[in-house]
Amino acid sequence: MRILLIGYGKMGKAIETLALERNHTIVGKVDPATDLSFDFNTPVDVAIEFTIPESANTNIRLCLDKKIPVLSGTTGWLSHKNELDDYCKLKQGTFFYASNFSLGVNLFFKLNEQLARMMQGQHTYTVSIEEIHHTQKKDAPSGTAITLADGILKYLKEKKKWVNHESKRAEELVIRSFREDPAPGTHTVKYQSAIDDIEIKHTAHSREGFALGAILVAEWLPGQKGVLGMDDFLKF
């Protein structure tokens, strides 16, 4: 498979290593922070986009314009995602987004929703989310933490929104963000009461799980159409 890497930071390099091990070809490595030049006459089967919030929208639109299936794991720009979904449909293209491509994290997402469903009506518990990442991560809270928050808000109707600061308001779901090295990513959902605590936690030991998930999706993506996500790939 011929892969275009848009973003050649730590994730891009990890994806490249695993892609080559799986006998794929990297036809281009683009760093949008310095250069987005690429000869789009070069055949490409799929583009993998891991960049920064400021450039993700432009990068994905460019791929859709060039009829290249694109998957993105960039976080921190989701206020524009609905517009991009509409643009993908207009172009009859293929756009796959996930806040986290780790298969373990996506199982964790489903476990989080199941627990939130069970906690409906248990008003003696206060729920919160904690996320820890390396100091180079630019956005806070993480996209993974936001996905966890959305899963909780879906079932705990007394919670109206998430906030990224301490709050005593019953309608606000607190996400606490910490940045320290080395930390590929730890996410914890806590339900606390005066009697006991209930906690679920996912800890990433390296970037390999994220990179492998992205490559598995990239292998599946050609031939698919429309706006897609991990539920489509994993068929939950």
pLDDT band at 236 (very low <50, low <70, confident <90, very high): low
13, 80, 110, 137: the catalytic one is 137
Q: Check if 137 is active-site.
A: yes
* pLDDT value of residue 185: 87
24, 133, 159, 187: the catalytic one is 133
- The packing angle between helices 103-118 and 208-220, to 10°, is 100
**What pLDDT digit, counting tens, does each position of 129-186 carry?**
999 998 888 788 998 999 999 999 999 999 999 999 999 999 999 999 999 988 778 9
| Overall pTM surpassing 0.85 (yes/no) | no
- The percent of residues above 90 in pLDDT, for the chain, comes to 73
CA distance 51 to 7: 5
Domains of the chain, first to last? 2-101+208-234 (3.40.50.720), 103-203 (3.30.360.10)
